[in-house]
Amino acid sequence: MTMNDANSKAETNIAALSGTADSGAKPRFDMPFFNIQAIFGDLAAQGAARAKANFEQMKAASEEITEALREACSTNATRAADYGTKVIEISNLNTSSALEFLSQLADARSFADVVSLSTTHSRRTFEAASGQNRELWDLAQKVATETAEPIKKGFNRVLHRAA
């Protein structure tokens, strides 16, 4: 069979709508009936099931992230309060030190006493400030670390589950 023979042997079943071949009615082509609704209905049902499963996964992930953020905010509020309390304690210590220094200056009898008191107070103030800054820095790092940890864990859990 040649290519032209294959192309020319297309069969069609033409029957007139009225039942007669030469009545002038439009011909009807008989084609196999496909149940399009069943085919696309199954695809739609599968797509809906997949979408629902994805939605449930996203909802669970969202709830986990929300819980991680809630925990992070709670931790942050607690640690920020600790930091604020430490700042108030340091302020109180520094105020007491300044008042004590002023009291000692008022009792000074000579210029040499004033210089000696000033030198001693400056050294103590510098040492105290260094220690206080170290404490505040450690607290700030603790706030940052403890606040970020629940968020990091929550995101890691969600990302590992999604992978």
What are the residues whose beta carbons fall under 8 Å from the beta carbon of 161, sequence distance 6 or more?
Answer: 57, 61
Domain assignment present for residue 36? The answer is no
pLDDT score at 84? 93
Domain assignment present for residue 7? The answer is no
Rounded to whole angstroms, the Cα distance separating 91 from 134 reads 15
Domain assignment present for residue 93? The answer is yes
Number of domains within the chain: 1
Domain assignment present for residue 37? The answer is no
pLDDT score at 18? 46
Its domain, for residue 85, covers: 59-163
Record the pTM. 0.58
Q: What is the pLDDT along the chain (163 residues), one digit of tens a residue?
A: 444 444 444 444 444 444 555 555 565 555 555 566 666 667 777 888 888 888 888 888 888 888 888 888 888 899 889 999 999 999 999 999 999 999 999 999 999 999 999 999 999 999 999 999 999 999 999 888 888 888 888 888 877 876 6
Domain assignment present for residue 100? The answer is yes
Domain assignment present for residue 74? The answer is yes
Domain assignment present for residue 13? The answer is no
pLDDT score at 10? 45
Phi, psi (rounded to 5 degrees) for 5: -65, -40
Domain assignment present for residue 14? The answer is no
Residue 85, token pair as written in the block: 């309390």
Whether the CA torsion 76, 81, 82, 87 is positive or negative: it is positive
Rounded to whole angstroms, the Cα distance separating 131 from 80 reads 19
Rounded to whole angstroms, the Cα distance separating 45 from 7 reads 40
